[in-house]
Amino acid sequence: MNLNCIAVDDEPLALGLVSVFIEKTPFLNLLGKYSSAVEALQGLHDQKVDLIFLDIQMPDLTGIELARVLGQAQQSSIGPRIIFTTAFNNFAIEGYKVDALDYLLKPFNYEEFLRAANKAKAYFELINRPAAAPTPPADKPEEDSLFLKVEYQLVRIAFKDVLYIEGLKDYVKVHLQGSTKPILSLTSLKALEDKLPARKFMRVHRSFIVSLDKISSLTRNSIQIGTVTIPVSDQYKDAFNVFLSKWT
């Protein structure tokens, strides 16, 4: 499928390079190039755009601010997606929060550009795939995993590998069996709790969810998973005591 694109950058050389890269890519169709986000916003009202290659540091309206405006205007509708192009790597978290498809750090070459463009193409092909014909209802198998957004991709997490999940301010850390490095995802512990099967996981603290089959020992106030001791807070004591009664 072909994607209608625009390029937005206040630096003429950078804008020209991105435009050349777009025109060089067979499945991208360049509808316009703009030297400011304000001009781009007007262009978006006049034509249907699938993909925006968007600089971040610009006067009047930054790329992040434009992304927020588009996100608020779209609400539930499907609008243009964004690939940020910037010389500053400290905007990666902000780009993640506005759900950008990718983040190209200047200076980038055509190979890096094409990799991001292919990711966008795969995304649009997925969301535009025709729905499968309805099939007769069947017993739904229990899910054994979930997908978490990690940086700019979805990563499959098998429930059987999870030891415990730790909630931070804006993130969760998923600690996995056999891995010394936890998986970091920009989501809340509550949102993740709603996706986990209750018979396999339990919230025991404002900052912790534990995998029940990974518990090695427990007391009235704490849980041991391997060498890690996890406290049980008063807010979750009732559900924990019900579970504890099955052990005694």
Residues 8 and 123 in one domain: yes
Residue 24 domain flag? yes
**d(C-alpha 81, C-alpha 126), whole Å:** 14
Residues 151 and 205 in one domain: yes
User: Which pTM value belongs to this model?
Assistant: 0.54
- Which residue ranges in the chain fall short of pLDDT 50? 73, 75-77
Residue 133 domain flag? no
Structural domain range at position 18: 3-127
Residues 94 and 194 in one domain: no
Check if the beta carbon of residue 44 is closer than 8 Å to that of residue 6.
Answer: yes
Residues 108 and 176 in one domain: no
Residue 135 domain flag? no
Residues 114 and 149 in one domain: no
Residues 30 and 81 in one domain: yes
pLDDT in tens, 90-131: 655 555 567 788 888 899 999 999 999 999 999 888 888 776
Residues 11 and 108 in one domain: yes
Q: Report CA torsion sign: 217, 219, 225, 226.
A: negative
**d(C-alpha 248, C-alpha 245), whole Å:** 5
Residues 109 and 222 in one domain: no
Residues 16 and 122 in one domain: yes
Residue 92 domain flag? yes
Residues 159 and 216 in one domain: yes
Residue 151 domain flag? yes
Residue 227 domain flag? yes
Residues 118 and 162 in one domain: no
- Based on the structure, what is the number of domains in the chain? 2
- Return the ∠ at Cα 153 (arms to 147 and 157), rounded to 5°: 25
Residue 97 domain flag? yes
Residues 176 and 232 in one domain: yes
Q: How far is CA 180 from CA 144, 213, 225, in A?
A: 22, 19, 14
Domain with residue 160: its CATH number is 2.40.50.1020
Of the residues 101, 127, 153, the one at which a domain ends? 127
**d(C-alpha 40, C-alpha 44), whole Å:** 6
**d(C-alpha 157, C-alpha 181), whole Å:** 14
Residue 139 domain flag? no
pLDDT value for 169: 82
